[in-house]
């Protein structure tokens, strides 16, 4: 089963959506409320058809398909397994790491049983960098702000895609503000 989801910038996570259609395809969406049937498909091809319709109409939206059987997110058709294919053959798009790193600061240290530590991107060190640059930046942060705990975090592909889309949306909003 594949579920169409859209990134909610305010909630800082993906949300299920209910789609609206015209004779030519999906033309809109709204957040699914309790009791609403979310946009779910057995056929990934049909799901992508509607997701692409949304992307064409809402260029700033981050649309993804969630494979509910594996928990994997798919940002394009290349990483989708064929219907009926063995799940072990499916690509793990959400686990593909990039060569980009950022620096994060510990916000809350918790036991693994409580969900683990919570980190947030540290301002000034959120632009993707190489591993060597991240190691130097981490040392710099630890030296400048010894009262904080930092880590170098290697970005997952989905984090990078989401961050790029959020940056595009923010730039677009800023440019409209000055028009």
Residue 162: partners with Cβ closer than 8 Å, 6 or more residues away: 7, 62
Specify whether 106 is located in the same domain as 168: yes
Tell me, yes or no, whether 35 and 111 share the same domain.
no
pLDDT tens for residues 88-107?
344 444 455 667 888 998 88
Nearest alpha carbon to residue 153 among 116, 112, 103, 110: 103
Do 14 and 84 lie in one domain? The reply is yes
- 18 and 80, same domain (yes or no): yes
Give the total number of structural domains in the chain: 2
Looking at 68, 88, 108, the residue that finishes a domain is 88
Domain carrying residue 56: 2-88
The answer to whether residues 122 and 80 belong to one domain is: no
Query: Which pLDDT value is given to residue 179?
Result: 54
pLDDT digits (tens, 9 = 90+) for 112-127: 566 667 888 888 888 8
Residues 82 and 100 in one domain: no
How many residues are present in the chain?
179
Domain stop point among 55, 88, 121: 88
Coil/strand/helix, residue 159? helix
Do both 109 and 171 map to the same domain?
A: yes
Per-residue 3-state assignment (H helix, E strand, C coil) for 52-107: HHHHHHCCCCCEEEEECCCCEEECCHHHCCCCCCCHHHCCCHHHCEEEEEEEEEEE
Structure tokens at 39: 């946009």
């Amino acid at each position: 089963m594949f579920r169409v989801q859209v990134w909610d910038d305010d909630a800082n996570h993906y949300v299920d959506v209910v789609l609206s259609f015209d004779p030519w395809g999906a033309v809109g969406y709204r957040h699914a409320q309790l009791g609403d049937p979310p946009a779910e498909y057995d056929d990934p091809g049909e799901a992508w058809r509607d997701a692409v319709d949304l992307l064409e109409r809402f260029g700033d939206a981050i649309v993804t398909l969630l494979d509910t059987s594996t928990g994997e997110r798919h940002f394009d058709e290349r990483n989708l397994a064929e219907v009926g294919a063995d799940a072990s053959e499916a690509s793990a798009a959400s686990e593909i790491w990039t060569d980009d790193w950022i620096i994060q600061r510990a916000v809350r240290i918790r036991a693994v049983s409580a969900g683990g530590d919570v980190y947030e991107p540290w301002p000034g060190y959120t632009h993707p960098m190489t591993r060597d640059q991240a190691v130097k930046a981490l040392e710099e942060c630890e030296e400048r702000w010894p009262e904080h705990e930092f880590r170098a975090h290697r970005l997952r592909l989905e984090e990078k895609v989401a961050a790029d889309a959020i940056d595009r949306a923010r730039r677009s909003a800023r440019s409209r503000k000055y028009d």
